[in-house]
A and B are shown apart, each in its own frame.
Chain A
Amino acid sequence: QQPVQSPQAVILREGEDAVINCSSSKALYSVHWYRQKHGEAPVFLMILLKGGEQKGHDKISASFNEKKQQSSLYLTASQLSYSGTYFCGTRVPSSNDYKLSFGAGTTVTVRA
């Protein structure tokens, strides 16, 4: 049930772009993206609910292809503050609700 993320790690220079992919073998009800800095709790970035939906947060955006059961996170013109580990999460049905399972994460390092 855990989504699969790729790549595992990426190193960027400031201003460069990157794409992080998240895919699932099961139907996706929603895709969540979080960023976590070392030693801190994950911070919510965005949720995508519908196939074809795209969202943006500053210069970080994401898309959701429901048919392909995958989502991509786009880091555009990266800044030093974008460094961290990015997790995608997928909601899967539980008894009464939809529990959230995380992918293994993608570590992004942005260098000056």
Chain B
Amino acid sequence: DAMVIQNPRYQVTQFGKPVTLSCSQTLNHNVMYWYQQKSSQAPKLLFHYYDKDFNNEADTPDNFQSRRPNTSFCFLDIRSPGLGDAAMYLCATSITGAANEKLFFGSGTQLSVL
């Protein structure tokens, strides 16, 4: 089945140790999003790619970077994770990002920072 896959499901890292979260999609969608969701809060958009065009949210810390080497894959790099970066990270896709399109979510990666 076509889907959005996030690996790993759970990730534990140490304070300050770089970590990479991955997302892949078999939907061939043009747009890929990364959301951060802390406990009991709404998903917060970090950035998104429209094809190869990178769109960063103004309040996304520089500590967060992203790469999209091809249509299918997108990575979230946290260069120096702090305790406040512990959260669920959700990857989502959309066909073209039009207003009438829903988002397809992956199952998320729960990041813990020790």
Docked pose: A63 CA to B104 CA in angstroms: 22
The answer to whether B43 has its CB under 8 Å from any CB of chain A is: yes
Contact residues in B for A97 (Cβ distance below 8 Å): 31, 50, 94, 96-98
Contact partners of B13 in chain A: CB under 8 A: none
User: For B48, what are the chain A residues with a Cβ–Cβ distance below 8 Å?
Assistant: 94, 99
User: In B98-114, which residues have CB < 8 Å from any A CB?
Assistant: 98-108, 110
Are A91 and B45 in contact, CB atoms less than 8 angstroms apart? no
Binds B, one of A13-21, A40-48, A71-79: A40-48
> How distant is the Cα of A67 from the Cα of B43 in the complex, in angstroms?
26
Q: Is the CB of B102 within 8 A of A32?
A: yes
Q: Would you call B41 an interface residue if the criterion is a C-beta within 8 Å of the partner chain's C-beta atoms?
A: yes
**Which residues of B sit under 8 angstroms from A43, Cβ to Cβ?**
105
Tell me how many residue pairs across A and B have CB atoms closer than 8 Å.
73
Separation of A103 and B98 alpha carbons in the complex (Å): 19
Q: Does B55 contact A (CB under 8 A)?
A: yes
A36 to chain B, nearest CB (A): 9
B97 adjacent to A96 (CB under 8 Å): yes
Given the known interface contacts A40-B107, A99-B33, the answer about A29 and B50 at a Cβ–Cβ threshold of 8 Å is no
A residues in contact with B94, CB < 8 Å: 97, 100
Q: Which residues of A contact B (CB under 8 A)?
A: 2, 29-30, 32, 39-44, 47, 49, 87, 89, 91, 94-105, 107
The 15 sampled A-B contact pairs (Cβ below 8 Å) are A30-B99, A40-B107, A41-B90, A41-B105, A41-B106, A42-B103, A43-B105, A44-B104, A47-B100, A87-B42, A94-B55, A96-B51, A97-B96, A102-B43, A104-B42
The 9 A-B residue pairs with the shortest CB-CB distance in the complex, in nearest-first order: A97-B97, A29-B99, A41-B105, A96-B50, A102-B42, A91-B99, A30-B99, A98-B99, A44-B102
